[in-house]
A and B are shown apart, each in its own frame.
Chain A
Amino acid sequence: MVLEMNHIQKAFGDLKVLEDISLCVDKGEVVSVIGPSGSGKSTLLRCATFLETIDSGEILFDGETAASTPAGHDRAVYAGKAEIRRMKGLFGLVFQQFNLFPHYDVLKNVTDAPVTVQKRDRAEAEETAMALLRKMGLEGKEHAYPYQLSGGQQQRVAIARALAGKPDILFFDEPTSALDPELTGEVLRVIRELAEENMTMVIVTHEMPFARAVSDRVIFMSGGVIVEEGSPEVVLGNPSHERTRQFLKNYSQ
């Protein structure tokens, strides 16, 4: 199991955003998370990537405990700072807004974290980065700055950056929502290629046909709970819950 999230609770003040959510992802599995806005799907990713702390529950990466709620505690306890920092090397996150570093060129965006954080050899990191950029269809762009690239190109750089740390699992938080429609295809194609290479991924998305094509499992969230979960054919094609049907119907209109 690459990722295990068990009984996650998370509230912002009085607002419960995640209510007893459990999500386990096997090696090589592609899981899509769909649902209306405010359903908690982005918060779930942010909890998995330590951008938010959970109130209670359990998070494990590769069987190692990052956070747990011991018996008798009502709040989750996180592993030590150094442990958490090391575990950040186990995953990558691709943001909706790319969040590239504008003052670094493409190559440095991809290599800086491996060199600075993981203390990799610079030459080796650059070699890895160049191979990733080729794979992303960004050959020749390594010395461009983010502002010189289209949104689709920027997002592909962000994917390369997330992959450069050689993560075991990749998270996508609505990777195409900030893109013009004609640019989403190039990003989805890259993600699909990664799926074909059995990259473990969790994708929060609104692209239903894409989710259907690429996922091994689809999760439908609403109101902070998982309403329905299963194969894309079932959840997207023949959902058993009224709430899911309603969402998909609104979506296709």
Chain B
Amino acid sequence: MTIQQMLAAMLPGMGRSFAIFFLTLFGSLILGVLVALVRKSRFAVVRGVIKVYIDIMRGTPLMLQLLVWYFGPYYLFGWSIKGWRFPAIILGFVLNYAAYFCEIYRSGIESMPVGQYEAADVLGYTRSQTFLKIIFPQVFKRILPAVTNEVITLVKDTSLAFTLAYSELFSIAKQISAAKTSFMPFVIAGVFYFVANYLVTFGMERLEKAFSYYK
């Protein structure tokens, strides 16, 4: 098997890895905001539920969570859902990453000096104006480095989908390597993850630079 043939065989896997990456990023960045908002709920029960959710998501391996989401419906309720594999993967990834993003948002919001809220208050801004115009833009800049870290981890974590025998890049690399007794597929996969993260880092650095006009 030539390298070109290997690449051709691995290409669909790269596409699937990308799909996991983008869907997770999109879903968890948004869900993270909602969780961060609900986390500050007036109701202690709601806050408690959110805390337990975050603790579980951060305290257990993502691989285990993926297995639970995939096999849970069958073992717990006897449901066998057709085509459940990919939704289970996305569900597992989004819920896990949203917990981390929620914590990043929270730390960013809590790092804002109280003087910013007071200045806005005295000037007559409403609560939503204060958040959207004064607080959020500054929080966004502050959390960028932490978000970059998470996104880089996500690129690599997409390989965990192999646990559920989903043929993303890493699963295919393993298959080809075993079938052809070749080391090459791992090299190709490694280069792919590295280049993907190089692009992520490059993009995020550009974004940070774009926000460096103020301190």
Bound Cα distance from A93 to B120, whole angstroms? 11
Instruction: Say yes or no: is B163 at the interface (Cβ < 8 Å to chain A).
Output: no
Known A-B contacts A51-B122, A92-B122, A113-B123; A101 and B134 likewise in contact (beta carbons under 8 Å):
yes
Among B34-42, B74-82, B124-132, B150-158, which stretch is in contact with chain A? B124-132
Q: Chain B residues near A89: list those with CB within 8 A.
A: 124
Query: How far does the Cβ of A225 sit from chain B's closest Cβ, in whole Å?
Result: 25
Bound Cα distance from A91 to B213, whole angstroms? 31
Instruction: Please state if A113 and B214 are interface contacts (CB–CB under 8 Å).
Output: no
Taking residues whose C-beta sits less than 8 angstroms from the other chain, chain B's interface range is 20 to 34
Q: Chain A residues near B116: list those with CB within 8 A.
A: 99, 101
Main secondary structure of the interface of B (DSSP, over half): helix
Q: Chain A residues near B213: list those with CB within 8 A.
A: 145
Query: How far does the Cβ of B215 sit from chain A's closest Cβ, in whole Å?
Result: 4
Interface string of B118-153 (1 = CB under 8 A from A): 110111111001000110011001000000000000
Instruction: Please state if A145 and B214 are interface contacts (CB–CB under 8 Å).
Output: yes
Residue among B118, B121, B123 with most chain A CB within 10 A = B123
A residues near B, CB below 8 A? 49-51, 85, 88-89, 91-93, 95, 97, 99-103, 112-113, 116-118, 145-147, 161, 165
- Give the 7 A-B residue pairs with the shortest CB-CB distance, closest first: A99-B119, A99-B115, A113-B123, A147-B215, A117-B124, A88-B124, A145-B214
B residues near A, CB below 8 A? 113, 115-116, 118-119, 121-126, 129, 133-134, 137-138, 141, 213-215
